Structure 1
Amino acid sequence: MAIFDQINEDIKAAMKAREKEKLEALRGIKKVMLEAQTAKGAGDVLADDDALKIISKLAKQGSDSANIYKEQGRDDLYEQEMKQVAIFESYLPAKMSDEELTAAVKAVIEQVGAIGMKDMGKVMGIASKKLAGQADGKDVADKVKALLA
């Protein structure tokens, strides 16, 4: 089942179970997905890769917002935002461990034939596509820098 269809099914289930917070988070995901589907030049169906990118972006934005709330002493908003982030992350593949990330980045470096920092752009282009949803972009960039330095 496609991720978009799974979101729709989970919205129905959350409505029946009267899970207000989960329903709100799922509707947020669906809204952004529908906007992406109807954007100019987009196809009729949203690919799972694109759906994962959208959900990953929403989770990152939510985490950033939660951190700001925490800094400002707004624990009520922090808790609410973190609940939504947990729902977003439940649709994402498991994050890679540090060892797995290192191995994946080394494989991309070998594939590209990178020898120094001047090749970072080539490596990041392939690595970010290959590891989308599995690792945070900042973590991938840090690992590429460390291995190419």
Structure 2
Amino acid sequence: MSLEQKINQDIKVSMIAKDNVKLRGLRAIKAAILLAKTEKIQVEELSEDTEIKVLQKLAKQRKESGDIYKNQNRDDLYQIEMEELQVIEEYLPKQLDRSAVEQVIKDIITEVGATSVKEMGKVMAAANQKLAGQADGKTISEVVKSQLS
């Protein structure tokens, strides 16, 4: 079952259960998927990679918006963003903790043979490919910088 089919099914369940919080998050995901499909000319189904990227983008947007609302003391809007973020994260692959990311990057650095920060690009490319959907780019970048310096 594709992500889009699962979302449509969960929207129906949420409507019946009158779970407005989950319904709002699911509708945001559905809108993003439909937008991604229209960007790819006449695509019936998005690849799993593309679906994960769409969800990661939504999660990142919610986190950034939540931070802005928190800084401006808008707890009402912050709460809405965090509720939607929780719904979006349910459909993302399980995120690795920092220590697991550090171990994977350590292995990648050994494979690539990087020794300085100048070779960060090679390590980042391999890390982003290997950790796709399992860690965000900011965390990966921080770990790579700390291990190469």
TM-score (norm 2): 0.92
Structure 2 unmatched runs, 5+:
none
- State the distance in 2 between where 1:48 and 1:17 align: 28
1:125 pairs with 2:92: no
For 2:130, the aligned partner's letter is: K
Q: Which residue of 2 aligns with 1:88?
A: 88
For 1:92, the aligned partner's letter is: L
- State the distance in 1 between where 2:85 and 2:67 align: 12
Deviation at 1:129, TM superposition (A): 2.0
Q: Which residue of 2 aligns with 1:110?
A: 110
Calculate the aligned-residue CA RMSD, in Å.
Answer: 1.5
1:48 pairs with 2:48: yes
Q: Which residue of 1 aligns with 2:14?
A: 14
SS in 2 for 1:122: helix
TM-score (norm 1): 0.92
Deviation at 1:143, TM superposition (A): 0.5
- State the distance in 2 between where 1:26 and 1:70 align: 23
- State the distance in 1 between where 2:41 and 2:144 align: 33
SS in 2 for 1:134: coil
- State the distance in 2 between where 1:118 and 1:3 align: 39
- State the distance in 2 between where 1:65 and 1:71 align: 10
Deviation at 1:34, TM superposition (A): 1.1
Regions of 4+ moved over 6 Å: none
- State the distance in 2 between where 1:37 and 1:69 align: 30
Q: Which residue of 2 aligns with 1:148?
A: 148
- State the distance in 1 between where 2:128 and 2:86 align: 23
Q: Which residue of 2 aligns with 1:24?
A: 24
**8 Å CA contact 1:36, 1:42 repeated in 2:** no
